[in-house]
């Protein structure tokens, strides 16, 4: 059995807005997130973890931020691309795990909706999709409420 692990890390800054989109779920907040796309930092991070497991670059190489085509794009486009790449290489995604780092918004009340959306987009069973959160104890840029960071792991298997 061929097992591959990949990691992802991404950060998006807060800007004007009334919600953030995380794992495709709109979460009410007193700021939005700034990005070339819809700035879904969690979906970008999971996408990069899958690319990492495949050793095939990163999200900016596949979807350059300089390309106007991706302005305001829904990030599920990027995730679907990474999932298709994995499957076309003969891999199944075994599980994904991501941790959001922010003081606010509180992720807990939305975590199951986020998991369900990621499970639907990837075709994974819900038990294989994990969404977690932590504060940074008010330290650093996340602690000052300047943005949201996310880290993720993806495991891919080929029988």
Ligand X SMILES: C[C@@]1(CO)OP(=O)(O)OP(=O)(O)OC[C@H]1O
Please, what is the minimum distance in Å from the beta carbon of residue 15 to ligand X? 12
DSSP assigned state of 63: S
Which residues from 65-104 bind ligand X, rule CB under 6 A? Answer: 65, 70, 78
Q: How far apart are CA 36 and CA 52, in angstroms?
A: 21
| Number of chain residues interacting with ligand X (CB under 6 A) | 12
The partner in contact with residue 135, picked from ligand L45E5XJ5, ligand X, none with C-beta cut-offs of 5 to 8 angstroms by kind, is ligand L45E5XJ5
Tell me: is residue 60 an annotated ligand-binding position: yes
Instruction: Summarize the chain as % helix, strand, coil (round to 5).
Output: 35, 35, 30
Q: How far apart are CA 122 and CA 84, in angstroms?
A: 9
The partner in contact with residue 76, picked from ligand L45E5XJ5, ligand X, none with C-beta cut-offs of 5 to 8 angstroms by kind, is none
Q: How far is CA 7 from CA 19, 28, 51, 80, in A?
A: 27, 28, 9, 17
Please, what is the minimum distance in Å from the beta carbon of residue 53 to ligand X? 18
Q: Using CB under 6 A, list all residues that contact ligand X.
A: 10, 35-37, 39, 44, 59-60, 63, 65, 70, 78
């Amino acid at each position: 059995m061929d097992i591959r692990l990949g990691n992802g890390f991404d950060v998006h800054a807060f800007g004007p807005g009334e919600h953030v989109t995380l794992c495709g779920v709109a979460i009410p907040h007193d700021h939005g997130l700034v990005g070339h796309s819809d700035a879904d930092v969690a979906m970008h991070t999971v996408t990069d973890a899958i690319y990492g497991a495949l050793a095939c670059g990163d999200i900016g190489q596949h979807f350059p931020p300089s390309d106007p085509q991706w302005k305001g794009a829904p990030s599920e486009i990027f995730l679907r691309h990474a999932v298709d790449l994995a499957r076309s290489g003969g891999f199944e995604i075994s599980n994904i795990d991501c941790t959001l780092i922010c003081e606010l918004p509180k992720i807990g009340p939305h975590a199951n909706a986020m998991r369900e959306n990621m499970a639907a987009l990837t075709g994974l069973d819900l038990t294989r999709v994990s969404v977690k959160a932590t504060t940074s104890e008010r330290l650093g840029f996340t602690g000052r409420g300047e943005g949201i960071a996310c880290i993720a792991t993806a495991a891919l298997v080929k029988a």
